[in-house]
Amino acid sequence: MVNLKITSPVLREFLAELLGTFVLTTIGCSVNAATTVSKSGAVAGAIGPWGWGLALTAAIYVCGGVSGGHVNPAVTLGMATIGKLSWIKVPYYFAAQYIGAFFGALVTYLVYHESIKAHFGDQLQTLGVNGTAAIFGTLPNPNVSIGTCFLDQVVCVGFFLLLIQAITDDRNMDCPKGLIPIAIGVADLTLMAFAFGYNCGAPVNPARDLGPRLLSSIVGYGGEVFSVRNYNYFWVPIVATHIGGIIGSWIYVLFISLHWPVQSYDIENELQTNPSRK
């Protein structure tokens, strides 16, 4: 019998982040596809945030015990800047996340491409009444400037990481490990999508946006998915989200985590874990 067990921590974490991001993107983009082909209209504004929040919950449950369940380069970068993740891990976490997102979008396309073409025509379009590219990569609201979209994602992802730091800080509310995926997926991402979904669809995750955008350009949407606003949008979900991740992480550090009374905290934990010391 062939032994398939992997003992390398690097490869284990790489595969975990790849699979987790694959799960997130497949389910999330499929939620987008289902609401698009069913022409849910305004209802999609409620279905989308809940669908993506639950998708993130599922993804963290899949890989969180191995890699921490980042499934998002902005999370990885934010964690690294405050010392919660070794910088050595950042490149292969990033690679896994972008690859996982690309193949997750591929699965969504394979499952839904017949329905998309049946409802919107064989010619896949990015914009207009028959535009469906937003199933994959996000698009800016036509009434909103790129500067506002950029600010939107810095603020959105800043709050996203701020809440992640709070949820995962056992010195704060001490969220049970098994509830962390629900707290991050539903209480955090769903909330961000509701609060910041109008301007540019709340990409939040640069891998989730760029991977599917690249896939859509290959399967028939063409270069227009990148050339929207004269190539002055596709970079926003990449750059702004990373900046927001760093800012949100550091805000939590500077306002909360730096100020815990470390000694008393350590004594309290020692008494809890070793009752004989009381």
Which tens digits make up the pLDDT trace of 103-131? 999 999 999 999 999 999 999 999 999 99
Q: For the chain, what is the largest distance between any 2 Cα atoms, rounded to a whole number of angstroms? A: 73
Phi (first) and psi of residue 174, to 5 degrees: 55, 55
Q: What is the pLDDT of residues 209-254, one digit of tens each?
A: 999 999 999 999 999 999 999 999 999 999 999 999 999 999 999 9
- In this model, does residue 278 exceed pLDDT 50? no
Q: How far apart are CA 27 and CA 34, in angstroms?
A: 10
Closest to 155 in 3D by CA, of 126, 197, 121, 125: 197
Number of H helices, E strands in the chain: 11, 0
- In the DSSP assignment, the letter for residue 186 is I
List CB contacts of 141: < 8 A, sequence separation 6 or more.
149, 198, 199, 200
Task: Report the sign of the C-alpha dihedral through residues 250, 254, 259, 262, in that order.
Answer: positive
Phi (first) and psi of residue 3, to 5 degrees: -90, 110
Query: What mean pLDDT is reported for the chain?
Result: 93
Closest to 81 in 3D by CA, of 253, 270, 212: 253
Q: What is the pLDDT of residues 124-171, one digit of tens each?
A: 999 999 999 999 999 999 999 999 999 999 999 999 999 999 999 999
Q: How far apart are CA 11 and CA 92, in angstroms?
A: 9
pLDDT of residue 161: 98
pLDDT of residue 273: 53
Confidence band of 270 (pLDDT split at 50, 70, 90): very low
Domains, in order of start, for the chain: 9-272 (1.20.1080.10)
pLDDT of residue 248: 98
pTM: 0.92
List CB contacts of 176: < 8 A, sequence separation 6 or more.
none
* Chain position carrying tokens 């975990």: 16
pLDDT of residue 277: 41
- In this model, does residue 275 exceed pLDDT 50? no
Where does residue 89 rank: exposed (0-12), middle (13-18), buried (19+ CB within 10 A)? buried
* CB 233 within 8 Å of CB 140: yes
List CB contacts of 186: < 8 A, sequence separation 6 or more.
50, 53, 54, 57
User: Of the given ranges (83-87, 144-148, 260-264), which has the lowest mean pLDDT?
Assistant: 260-264
Mean pLDDT of 185-192: 96
Q: How far apart are CA 44 and CA 27, in angstroms?
A: 15
- In this model, does residue 74 exceed pLDDT 60? yes
Closest to 211 in 3D by CA, of 66, 122, 107, 121: 107
Q: How far apart are CA 18 and CA 121, in angstroms?
A: 33
In DSSP terms, 131 is beta-bridged to 125
Q: How far apart are CA 255 and CA 262, in angstroms?
A: 15
